[in-house]
Amino acid sequence: MARVALVTGGTRGIGAAIAIGLKSAGHTVAATYHGNVEKAEAFKAETGIETFKWDVADHEACVKGIAEVEAALGPVDILVNNAGITRDGWFHKMDHDAWISVINTNLGSMFAMTRPVIDGMRERGFGRIVNISSINGQKGQLGQVNYSAAKAGVIGFSKALALENARKGVTVNCICPGYIDTDMVAAVPEKVLEGIIAQIPVGRLGQASEIAALVAYLASDASAFMTGAVLTINGGQYIANG
């Protein structure tokens, strides 16, 4: 069944692949972005997916933006919380801005984006919420105390929200990607990239389309019995317990 899907950070990288995948599955898709207007306009022209500009770390902007999406496309039944940033650095050298900006964007946005849509999902008896965490939210990473803390928080958020909404037909699941072949990873120095790939048992980076395929399943009617799941997709680089 075709539904309205909203993907944050949906005009680039993994988010763009997710938005395209959901459109291919027959859904009406809206993609948010914050910074790169030129990239967003090119994405809209290429895919026909509607784009909306706001900062997911800003609660009031999220409330207003979601209202605009719903006025234009209809009630949001599928929410993919994908937007995220990094501000890497050793913790003993990290300033407060580097800490709070990552926490607000990567974790605070879980509340800011989900709170405005959860009541409607519960009332309609259907909702699919997919939150994108990270391998580094599971295992931690040098130079990413802020990012790892936020992404670990996304996992806890997903599990608790899944329990609260299971009887209302609303599922909440969490995906933890490993290293994916995006522009950001491609910009890593060649020797560093070689070292990363050497740590991945399957011997390659993941593809954004592989994450998108998993999101498409979690957004579907077929996934109704799956909620509260934390799904690793990292080529075997980190094998989580249970």
pLDDT tens across 68-79, in order? Answer: 999 999 999 999
Domain-wise residue ranges, the chain: 4-233
pLDDT tens profile 18-65: 999 999 999 999 999 998 999 999 999 999 999 999 999 999 999 999
pLDDT 10s digits, 88-127:
999 999 999 999 999 999 999 999 999 999 999 999 999 9
Q: What class does CATH assign to 4-233?
A: alpha beta
Active site residue 238: no
33, 147, 179, 217: the active-site residue: 147
Overall average pLDDT of the 180-209 stretch: 91
Residue 132 neighbours by CB distance under 10 Å: 25
Residue at token pair 């599955």: 25
Query: Residues 135-144: pLDDT tens digits?
Result: 999 999 999 9
pTM for this model (two decimals):
0.96
